[in-house]
A and B are shown apart, each in its own frame.
Chain A
Amino acid sequence: MDPVLIKLALGGLAVLGCIGLFFGIGLALAAHKFAVEANPKVEEVLDVLAGAQ
């Protein structure tokens, strides 16, 4: 295969990986910083209920 194409593909992988990593870390930090403490009992009650709808 053409080495230019291979270079392009590998470069694309690297760039997209970097973008993904950057925004992923950003989102994780945001989720950590803006965390809302949810009441665990809400989940438990929802689990017990039938929940078909």
Chain B
Amino acid sequence: MKIFKREYLILSILAVLGLALLGGCKPEHRFIKKTAFKDTNAIVITFADRVDEAWAKNTANYSIYEKPDPDIKLKIDRVSLSPDKRTVVLAFKEDLNRDQPHILTISEITSGGKSLGTALVKVKKLYFGYLFSILIGAMIIHNFVFTKYLGLCVFFGTSQKKSTAVGMGITFTIVIVFSAMMAWFLYQFVLKPYRLDFLQIVVFIGLVSLSVQAVDTILRKVNPALFKAFGVYLVLVIANCIVIAVPLLLADNEYNGWESLMLAFGAGIGFLIALFLMSSVRERLDLANVPPTYRGLPIAFVVAGLFALAFMGFSGMSIF
């Protein structure tokens, strides 16, 4: 019974931590209940109470920019106030780029003749939708193998048989999630505060080999059967470029912990999908009548090219 209680304690602590992390996404000002994108070129602001019409209709009270470019203020076309005076719709001349969070400054909010101070609000898409789009993006839309052509040596080396392909994919996913989370932590809390971001490649390579070595050591003792199944692939992960591309990408895009996790997991599963597709085709190619000059790797490259063409069909797709 005691062991169960301790597990419950750990679980509840984790749940509280998760909630605290998610809670960081709420609007920053108490009087503003909600901000959201509407259609392609409008933003809706919901206030907690009635606001004064004269204040709300004045476009000079709002200023907005995309988060990466604070210098470029977006032009507000017109402001409309709903009849209950709680919802303001800002319409823009040009379409908004909904992938970027927008920073909206609302100066001197006036309600009932009283000023409530200036609010700085972030307008962005639903957070879970954003996380999901990172996951699907890394997995399929920007598949690392078929659209970025990374990790090709391991990809061709281990895609001859379905069983080895799946084993490699699973090992790879575990290692990449492990090392990307460590890379995110080190980048955000050690490299950036000490202004050592120019050393990121050196540190990330060290982290990858470290996590491979750690997984190797621990797995050898904890689960020898799984260790034997992984065999040589565990060491091969070090030679894969995706495993270094993911930390560099997440450092470049300033992703937070959840986003990094999604990117790493998506990259791992995407590699697994690519390996599985490729190995299925190569198993059938062994039985096909391939011209002697094309047998082996050449036809595999041709097939990979065809896969890349097929994956181009996903490009430009956006979810949420």
Which residues of A are in contact with B by a Cβ distance under 8 Å? 8, 11-12, 15-16, 19-20, 23, 26-27, 30-31, 34-36
Contacts and interface: CB of A to CB of B under 8 A. Distances in A.
B217 A12 contact: no
Nearest to A34: B221
State the main secondary structure of chain B at its contact with A.
helix
Interface stretch (B94-102, B136-144, B190-198): B190-198
Contacts of A15: 190, 194, 196
A30 B186 contact: no
Contacts of A26: 214
Contacts of A11: 194, 196
B19 interface: no
A3 to B, nearest CB: 15
B235 interface: no
A15 B304 CA distance: 43
B186 A19 contact: yes
Interface in B210-262: 210, 213-214, 217-218, 220-222, 224
Nearest to B219: A34
Contacts of B217: 27, 30-31, 34
Given A16-B203, A19-B203, A36 B218 contact: no
Given A20-B206, A27-B210, A27-B213, A34 B194 contact: no
A34 B194 CA distance: 34
Contacts of A12: 194, 196, 199
A2 to B, nearest CB: 14
Given A16-B202, A16-B203, 9 more contacts: A12-B196, A20-B206, A23-B206, A27-B213, A27-B217, A31-B217, A34-B217, A36-B221, A36-B224
Nearest to A31: B217
Contacts of B220: 34, 36
7 contacts: A15-B196, A16-B199, A19-B186, A19-B190, A30-B218, A31-B217, A35-B221
B33 to A, nearest CB: 44
Question: What 9 A-B pairs come out closest when comparing CB atoms?
Answer: A34-B221, A12-B196, A30-B217, A31-B217, A34-B217, A23-B210, A36-B220, A15-B194, A34-B218
B224 to A, nearest CB: 8
Contacts of A8: 195-196
A23 B207 CA distance: 9
A34 B224 CA distance: 12
Looking at B214, B217, B218, the one whose CB has the most chain A CB atoms below 10 A away is: B217
A27 B194 contact: no
Given A15-B190, A19-B186, A36-B221, A30 B199 contact: no
A10 B202 CA distance: 16
Nearest to A4: B195
Interface string B170-204: 00000000000000001000100011100100110
Contacts of A31: 217
A38 to B, nearest CB: 10
A30 B211 CA distance: 12
Contacts of A23: 206, 210
A11 B194 CA distance: 8
